[in-house]
Structure 1
Amino acid sequence: MSNSGRSKSRLVADKRYSAPQKGSGSGGGSRKSPRKSSRKPARRKSTRRNPLVALVLGLFGWAFRLVWGIGWRVMAIVLICLGLAVAYTYATLPGLAELQDARARGSVTLLDRSGDVFAWRGDQFGGVVSAETVSENLKNAVIATEDKRFYWHPGVDPIGVLSAIRINLSEGRGPLSGHGGSTITQQTAKLLCLGVAYDKTQWESEKAYIADCRQTSLWRKIKEAVYALAMEAKYTKDEILSVYLNRAYLGGGAYGAEAAAQRYFGKGASQLSISEGAMLAGLLTAPSTLAPTANLERSQNRASVVVRLMRDQGYISASDAATALARPAELSEAAERQAGGYFADWVMASGPEFFTRDTTEDVIIKTTMDQRLQKAAEDALKVIFENKVREGSKAQAAIVVMSADGAVRAMVGGRKTKVSGAFNRATQAKRQTGSAFKPFVYATALELGHGPNSTVVDEPYCLDVPGSGRWCPENYTRKHYGRVTLTQALKDSLNIPAVKISESVGRDLVRRVASDFGIESDLADGPALALGASESTLIEMTGAYAGILNGGSSVTPYGLVELKLLGDDEPLMGSGGGIGERVIREDAARQLTWMMYQVVEDGSGRRAKLPDRQAAGKTGTTQAARDAWFLGFTADYVAGVWMGYDDNTPLTGVTGGGLPAEIWHETMLRVHEGIDPHPLPMLKPPPPEPAPQPAQPQRRQRGTTNPIEDILRGIFGGGQ
């Protein structure tokens, strides 16, 4: 029995030490284990917590386990949904080539007579570029400005988002208002409108479609992020940057880096300097406001900020940054002309709408514009107004220069020449022509067989006008000059001879001649027709004078030479103007040219006289000097000048032979620089034959012896 008891004690001891023995091969290890086991109850006793603390900790642990248990499941569901959304979007993304051109409208590129670009209209797209082909200066400027962590994030930048929210809240805006923290990938997604194409049947207007694409609601931001993540999975970083550089609007009607580089600097996007690349990158935040064509100084200031960002982020050295800041980007000459000014406006209005103002294609229009002559006209106008017009005057002026066939070479529609879409006084303002109309009265007379030396009596003259009563025209000088030649009457711009000739040849015929020469406006019915009571535009009048220069044939002024689609060799349409039908005989036109030459040589147009070549022309001043004109030509070019106020306020001390003649003179001096002088195509009339003197009766000599009778005969006459 005792052996049995000892046996049981050993069995207990074996179980007690069995666990340590399994884990250790030495006796020392088995001794330590029971000592540790014996301390455990004491330690638990010493760490008993306050019941309240234990309750709180228990609740916290329970809540944590609950949140974690739900949270990781919700997070898993969100990630799965996000992955499915990204995968679906990934599957719908088109090929890279389809994402380059974002425009709903096409572009119009206008070329001058030499084939050089002088203006752009519509939504300009210069062609596809890539992140590898554009200038490194532009690429680095865009990344430094728009997304400095572009190459490190997966399409969404949490750091940028949190920073943007902090800035918005600190500035008193909503978290999503103002700074968006969008990456270049997200901005590209927005430019793509998240893959939703414009459909005119689904949207009230293109503007409404764009507004929807640009909204910044939370749900829109989530969709934008999904689209950005899908793009990052589908395309490489440089491919995404390429799409962005091709689709971004950069002001001035330019979509994409290539169009903007051509538009503002006259070069390709691969050739941009640091300052030029910085200027384009600076436009991305507010392209219309910051466009250099709208405000060059403001655009340069924004570019300087971009240059400093490039320096701070290590893209350029401090010395390169200093050079770029000292030499900011400047506009090309074409950009300075603000999309071609009045001339481009006129050409765009003269072409078919579906190929100009409303085109959905990229159109190339070759024009008659001569940029040297355009600058000559603009400079001439500026010189006269700066030196001979009182400061603060609101008077306006317009100039048209054309060839004898009606090809318009230059056009100034107002004093502010760097404009686009402004009121064009050369083509849109209908004003009374005054004495500038008189050449068509004399053209009618010459056509009917009268000559420059035919005469008319300048004397008081009145007509009874039905419905208006008695009308008595007067000369500008309020004097009368007796019998004068047609040449003298035109040279001195006498009114009474002009009216008498018009009445003698017939007003209907005068109206017909003027209309055939291209004056399409309604012409007056009364006798005041001869004095320019009718209204016309400057371009109509200049075209009519071109008909006199070319020998008596009508012309239709034109600026469009040919129109074709980008990439096509064959034009879709050609010129819509040029020389038309003959109006008067060539010798009559040559005689009229000689008469108008006398106007400039020694008549009312003396201030227009050129020092090195012959010129012919005519002045015009309307009632109360509301309009003043000078139109004329050399053997090479025709030019017309109008001056007046937009509200018909009378001019002070201005007649057609004054400031308009001087503007014409200054214009033609510059127009003819480098051109050899050529004689006018005029026909000088033979000198007038002396008027026959009446025969003097011969007195028969009768002898008489009475001296008193001889004296009386000598006093009172005598004979049979």
Structure 2
Amino acid sequence: MTQKGGGRGRLVADKRYSSSKQPPKASKPTKPRKNARRGGGNGGGGGGGRGKPPRRNGPVTGLIIGLARLIWRVVWGVGWRLAMIVALVVGAATLYFYSTLPDYTKLLDGRTRGSVTMLDDQGKVFAWRGETFGGQIDAKNVSPYLRDAVVATEDRRFYHHFGISPRGIASAMAINMREGRGPFDGNGGSTITQQTAKLLCLGVKFDPKKWKNEAAYENDCRSGGLRRKIKEVPYAFALELKYSKDEILSIYLNRAYLGAGARGFEAASERYFGISAANVDPQQAAMLAGLLKAPSYYAPTSSLERSQERAATVLSLMHEQNYLTDRQYLDAKNNPATLSQAAQKRAGGYFADWVMDTIPDFLSRDTTEDVVINTTLDQRIQSAAEDAMKSVYDNKVSKGSKAESAIVVMSADGAVRGMVGGRATKVSGAFNHATMAQRQTGSTFKPFVYATALDLGYTPDSMVDDAPVTVKMPGSPDWSPRNYERSYMGPITLTTALEHSVNVATVRVSEAVGRENVIKIAEGFGFAQDLPNLPSVALGVGESDLLDMTGAYAGILNGGSSVQPYGLTSLTLKGDDQPLFGKPGGIGERVISKKAAQELTYMMRQVVLHGTGRRANIDGYEIAGKTGTTQSARDAWFVGFTSDYVVGVWMGNDDNTPLKGTTGGGLPAEIFHETMKRVLNGEDPKPLPMAHPGDWQVPAQQSQGQSQSAGQAPAQPQRQRRDPSQSILNELLNIFGSN
């Protein structure tokens, strides 16, 4: 090329380095180096006029950068492969769980056992045992307020996620660590779908060989931790693939436990409000949804105030998420939900427990069916007994007293109308002093001594000598009974002896008519078994519970026939028309004659009118009864009756220590009075089925006007024959000897 060609080179240089003050000198073209792409030429100065070369990293920095790049390549290479493996495993697990899921309707009732529903004498529900299931409900058919309350409280993004909520899990982990727990301990951030997975126990069925009971099984199903969370994810995905959102929510609404033995929102709504879940209003829906956090703690039957406070929080969430308008929110907040009348009363807990004990376990505690039991309970009478107990303890029992009491109200045929098994009235599962406490009966046994005498032909006017006596017992020390007042009345009628509960006179009558006969009569009435064949049996040293004692007095009221107390009238499996069986008790065999029973009723009426039971009397009504106080006042009793009801009352200390200043004619008679006053409220007075003076006949031998004496009974085919002509005093001297 010519020199002129160099001008072209200058033009290129000007164009390329226009910003330079001095153009570069012309140089011979050089052959490009193979490593020119590395940008630094041959590492010298700015050869060729190309400027400063890039700065080289030092050896340490280069090593660090290289190592970081290597680690990143390894992590990336392992990470995407591991993620692929996890995705495949989760996908396979999801498909497996998906294949095992049945039609969603088969998952609605999650109980492994059935329930027992108890109805009172009017057919109204008053108690449940086991986990009740109110019936299948659908998310589309329940109250929209209830559906919204559950979603707002438990999973506000329920309709927008695919089974899990990473945001919710991350938030829950942060809360757990902030509060000093492990990341997976405590709050779980579970969606409704995940909670449903837990309720389904990830498809694992209850196995009694693996879990000792159902509670252990459910605790295992609800357990937290990383392993559980990992298992929940594919199961939740499977639920989302298999079922619609409404179907998942339906499973949740039916299986969730909501306290007080209620499984599912239908059962809970019936139990707490007496209405279907389809009809709850916003405040009721909020209370039900609030139970999901801690069912037993927030149950309104445990603490209505606490439940209402939780419901207020739920209402606020519903309002924030636009499920409630301002007006709806304020109205619901200012008018919180309250319990139904039946739930408020919680009446009959002791009664329900007793009924459960009277039927086989396979139809009660271990039932796999839903059982409906019709009972004899009268909720008005039950409430009367509970109110009476509370009134006496609040107003007449000294503060700090630990004395317990029990009440039984019964009809003449043995049908139990009310039962209070302790001073804490609204409980269940507690020790029932009415049926479980075997205590000495004291003077409440005495009517059966006189029932024996009357059945053998004595009359209420027959005479007995109330004077010191010693009973000689072969092989044992002699026994000398004493009266409570330590004084003696001399010759008195049988009526007077019972009216004032005279010990010595009663022992004389018992020995005169035959101790074996007295025991036979008492056991025939059913309130005591294995009575000791001792002279002291006449004073109530044998033991009984209050239920049997009350039943024995019902035998006197009904005219002398035994009764077996009962509370069940029929037991039916839910959905069946025919009961499996009917009442197990009622009136049994005759024990004493009707005449003897009516005469004894007259004598017991005098106890209430003029004797030890005066505090039990109610003006305008005829009441008969008997007091009882055991040795050292360890037990105090009063059992009495009107024409329609028998009421038994017991009081004592659980540790069997003596009561302070209490006898059967004191606080027990007061409790009887308060109970019967409430039971009879509004009822017309009816006469007792009793004899009256002049109704009984005086034997012909006593034409001179002398009353028959104890020991002068005419023959009775089933009893030991007595010689009517023998003087009571002579016979008693033969029995006891002179003292």
Partner of 1:302: 310
Aligned to 1:52, the other structure's residue is in SS state coil
Q: Given the superposition, is the C-alpha separation of residues 41 and 442 from structure 1 closer, same or farther in structure 2, using an over 3 Å criterion?
A: closer
Flag the 1:87–1:436 CA change in 2: closer, same or farther, 3 A: same
1:339–1:420 contact (8 Å) kept in structure 2: no
- How far residue 327 of structure 1 moved from its aligned partner, in angstroms, is 2.8
Aligned to 2:338: 330
Cα deviation for residue 293 of structure 1 reads 2.2
Matched-pair contact (CA < 8 Å) for 2:129–2:261: yes
Q: Secondary structure at the match of 1:469?
A: coil
The aligned counterpart of 1:503 is: 511
Which of the residues 241, 244, 253 maps onto 1:245? 253
Shift of 1:608: 1.4
Report if the CA contact (8 A) 1:538-1:640 is conserved: yes
Out of 162, 166, 175, the position equivalent to 2:174 is 166
| 2:529 is aligned with 1:524 | no
Q: 1:41 to 1:220 in 2, by over 3 A?
A: closer
**Is the Cα–Cα contact under 8 Å of residues 618 and 631 in structure 1 kept in the other structure?**
yes
Provide the residue aligned with 1:293 in structure 2: 301
| Corresponding letter in the other structure for 1:104 | T
Residue number in structure 1 paired with 2:201? 193
AA partner of residue 50 (structure 1): R
* TM-score normalised per structure 2: 0.85
Determine if the alignment matches structure 1 residue 588 to structure 2 residue 596: yes
Q: Deviations over 1:445-483 (max 9, x none)?
A: 011111111111111211123454222222222222222
Distance in 1 of aligned mates of 2:435 and 2:160? 57
2:58 is the alignment partner of 1:50: no
Residue 709 of structure 1 is matched in structure 2 by none
Whole-angstrom CA distance in 1 between matches of 2:142 and 2:482:
71
**Which deviates the most, 108-117 or 666-675?**
666-675
Match of 1:152 among 134, 155, 160: 160
Pairing 1:257–2:276 present:
no
In structure 2, the residue matched to 1:569 is 577
**Alignment: residue pair count:** 657
CA displacement at 1:390 relative to structure 2: 1.7
- More moved, 195-204 vs 242-251: 195-204
Which of these residues, 366, 386, 402, is aligned with residue 358 of structure 1?
366
Tell me the SS of whatever aligns to 1:662. Answer: helix
After superposition, give the CA deviation of every residue in 1:536-590 in whole Å (9 maximum; x if it has no partner).
1111110000000101000000011111111111111111100000001111111
2:421 paired with 1:416: no
Q: Is the 8 A contact 1:400 1:539 kept in 2?
A: yes
Query: Do 2:438 and 2:545's aligned partners in 1 also have CA atoms closer than 8 Å?
Result: yes
Match of 2:547 among 517, 533, 539: 539
**1:555 aligned onto 2:559:** no
* Number of the residue aligned with 2:124: 116
Who is 1:427 aligned against? 435
User: Does the CA contact (< 8 Å) of 2:283 and 2:335 recur in 1?
Assistant: yes
The 8 Å contact of residues 396 and 646 in structure 1, kept in 2 or not, is answered as yes
Q: Aligned AA for 1:251?
A: G
1-side partners of 2:434 and 2:38: how far apart? 109
Cα offset, 1:424, TM superposition? 0.8
- Decide whether aligned partners of structure 1 residues 71 and 476 sit closer, same or farther in structure 2, where only a CA change above 3 A counts: closer
Long gaps (5+) in structure 1: 6-39, 695-720
**Conserved 8 A contact 1:443-1:588:** yes
**Cα displacement (A) at 1:234:** 0.8
Distance 2:332 2:529 in 1: 55
SS at 2:291 equivalent: helix
Deviation, structure 1 residue 62: 6.5
SS of the counterpart of 2:158? coil
Q: Residues 317-345 of structure 1: CA distance to partner in whole angstroms, max 9, x if unpaired? A: 33433333333322223333447311111
Q: 8 Å contact 2:528–2:542 — kept in the other structure?
A: no
**Rounded Cα–Cα distance in structure 2 between residues aligned with 1:617 and 1:215:** 58
Alignment of 1:619-638 (within 5 A): 619-638=627-646
**What do the CA deviations read for 1:357-378 (whole angstroms, capped 9, x no partner)?**
2212111111110000001111
* Structure 1 residue 234 corresponds to structure 2 residue 239: no
CA contact (8 A) 1:338 1:420 kept: no
Q: 1:75 aligns with which of 83, 93, 106?
A: 83
Query: What is the CA deviation profile of residues 169-201 of structure 1, one whole-angstrom value per residue up to 9, with x for unaligned ones?
Result: 222211111111110000100110111111223
CA distance in 2, matches of 1:218, 1:693: 97
8 Å CA contact retained: 1:454, 1:485:
yes
Gaps of 5+ in 2: 2-35, 41-49, 707-739
Between the aligned partners of 2:538 and 2:705, the Cα distance in structure 1 is: 34
Contact persistence 2:347–2:383 (CA under 8 A) = no
Shift of 1:298: 2.4
Aligned with residue 290 of structure 2, among 275, 282, 286: 282
Secondary structure of residue in 2 paired with 1:393: coil
State the AA in 1 paired with 2:535. Answer: P
Closer, same or farther: CA 62–503 of 1 in aligned 2, 3 Å: closer
**Residue 86 of structure 1 contacts residue 226 of structure 1 at CA under 8 Å; is this kept in 2?**
yes
SS of alignment partner, residue 400 of structure 1: strand
Output the amino acid matched with 1:300. Answer: Q
Deviation at 1:43, TM superposition (A): 10
Specify the alignment match of 1:476 in structure 2: 484
The amino acid that maps onto 2:232 is E
How far is the alpha carbon of 1:59 from its aligned partner? 6.9
1:212 maps to what in 2? 220
Choose the corresponding residue for 2:464, options 440, 451, 456: 456
Look up the match of 2:189: 181
- TM-score, normalization: structure 1? 0.87
The structure-2 alpha-carbon separation of the partners of 1:526 and 1:89, relative to structure 1 and needing over 3 Å to count, comes to: same
- SS of the equivalent of 1:464 reads coil
CA distance in 1, matches of 2:37, 2:98: 62
Where 1:410 maps in the other structure, the secondary structure is strand
Aligned-residue RMSD, C-alpha: 2.5
Deviations 1:664-718 (A, max 9, x none): 1111111112222211111224189898499xxxxxxxxxxxxxxxxxxxxxxxx
2:669 match? 661
Q: Which residue of 2 aligns with 1:708?
A: none
Compute the displacement of 1:292 (Å). 2.2
The offset of 1:275, in angstroms, is: 2.1
Q: Which residue in 2 is equivalent to 1:33? A: none
- 1:482-493 alignment runs, 5 A limit: 482-493=490-501
Please tell me whether the aligned partners of residues 491 and 604 of structure 1 are also in contact (alpha carbons under 8 angstroms).
yes
Of 372, 379, 382, 1:371 maps to 379
Amino acid aligned to 2:374: K
Aligned to 1:405: 413
- Pair 1:76–1:637, CA change in 2 (3 A): same
Corresponding letter in the other structure for 2:97:
T
Distance 1:526 1:48 in 2: 125
Cα gap change, 1:339 to 1:259, in 2 (>3 Å):
farther
Deviation at 1:396, TM superposition (A): 1.6
Equivalent-residue separation in structure 2 for 1:525 and 1:70 (angstroms): 91
The answer as to whether partners of 1:246 and 1:257 remain within 8 angstroms in 2 is: yes
